[in-house]
Structure 1
């Protein structure tokens, strides 16, 4: 079971580029927030989260969102489910989409589910590129951390200004910034995947 999850030791550079990828993903995900049909689902989700966060067990809730949930969800969806698909030699792209769909459905909310789907896609790719679930956990935890910060400190400002045309311009700029920021980590992971695969072949080959 643990073998499927690939708890391979990672290097510091992997973690840094994973965090950069997560931040760029958050910028690009502003597209989801800009879809008008998602607004009622988003408001419902944010209101429920605000009530959840403002409860007496704030520290426990923060720990659950930032640490426990990423570890558990990555273990189940990217480790066991995605890992089993790869073990059975399923097409990598099909495996990525299927486990991401399951991850989205698991959240049982259209807004949160759509967001979770794309988290699932990128988390699975990070695991596949680096051959370690630790990187997908870092990606997931980074996304959850920044979204939690947004809910705590920025949701009221965004809600009050969501009809302002300048907000639409800001969303567009965030998307462009996210695409530009994503280039470097994507390039790094593309090369990193080849390095890791070559190293694995060398370790398996007889001396």
Structure 2
């Protein structure tokens, strides 16, 4: 009898774990950055609709600043409502705000139901003071750079800051800048974005959320401050809680950059105000240097401990991340160049 031919065995291609990791990583980044893009789109839509409605109701010229605060509040409420709709199962939990163990309810299939730790550390008064000083240091660095350029005959334009300063005479804009915007921004960038990126590593999540936060401001000068300040806010939210990052953000916007700066501007002449601002900047920078000298070793250890595995930052190749970066960076650069030339 003829010999029986053995059945052909299927060829199994070896699975490259590095390729699988890259694919999963891009999916994680793409998912949450898609939500961030949609949030930004909803803000723009809300602003457009609010502008039309206010214009029709009041039948007035909206070229002034009296309605800027109202329009800004409406736009952020529309966007935040969208965010609540998309992430309500996560946002409406105590762990989201106060930190602690939580069960992942969004993300890729292998993330769902996973228990992880987010925040939960106990904030000490000394640490809270140091985070405030670091925030002052970041603000001081940006201001000192602006002063240095000014002394060289070039004023670094910040269209967003100028617009906010002009319209901050209204209660609505004060409410937006000092309270509503910090809360909504922290929920999006540190609560949703950073939390969903945490499986890729704490460092990656903090840096990426800070970068997106900076670009979100569409302003070169203010965006630089927002990125650096976002690193501090990200660490606070990651290790303590979202409530503490919100408190720090509100303190910066409403107290340091709001009430104190406004009172100084109203009661001091130009020279005295400049001296006051420079003094605060120097105090913040010197205080930050002291903190880095004392706790630099612990900071480097934190960075090493939470370093992401190789190739993690290729997650920035996700389509939605690229779209967000290109669109916002282009707008910021065009706005900056236009303001500098104008």
Q: Using structure 2 for the length normalisation, give the TM-score.
A: 0.44
After superposition, give the CA deviation of every residue in 1:141-176 in whole Å (9 maximum; x if it has no partner): 111121112441335859646988x98687444411
Of Structure 1 and Structure 2, the greater helix share is in: 1
Change (3 A) 1:171 1:75: closer
Selected match of 1:154 from 233, 244, 264: 264
Deviation at 1:96, TM superposition (A): 0.9
> What is the root-mean-square deviation of aligned Cα atoms in Å?
3.7
Match runs of 1:57-96 below 5 Å: 58=171, 60-86=172-198, 89-96=199-206
Q: Distance in 2 between matches of 1:169 and 1:75?
A: 33
Q: Distance in 2 between matches of 1:158 and 1:90?
A: 51
Deviation at 1:115, TM superposition (A): 1.1
Q: Which residue of 1 aligns with 2:97?
A: 7
Q: Which residue of 2 aligns with 1:119?
A: 229
Query: Larger Cα Rg: Structure 1 or Structure 2?
Result: 2
Higher relative contact order (CA 8 A, sep 6+): 1
Deviation at 1:62, TM superposition (A): 2.2
CA contact (8 A) 1:67 1:141 kept: yes
CA contact (8 A) 1:66 1:141 kept: yes
CA contact (8 A) 2:209 2:230 kept: yes
Give the unaligned 5+ runs of structure 1: 194-207
1:176 aligns with 2:321: no
Q: Distance in 2 between matches of 1:162 and 1:25?
A: 22
Q: Distance in 2 between matches of 1:118 and 1:70?
A: 15
CA contact (8 A) 1:24 1:182 kept: no
1:98 aligns with 2:208: yes
Change (3 A) 1:155 1:25: farther
Q: Which residue of 1 aligns with 2:167?
A: 52
Aligned length: 180
Q: Using structure 1 for the length normalisation, give the TM-score.
A: 0.69
Q: Distance in 2 between matches of 1:162 and 1:52?
A: 20
Change (3 A) 1:171 1:81: closer
CA contact (8 A) 1:19 1:138 kept: no
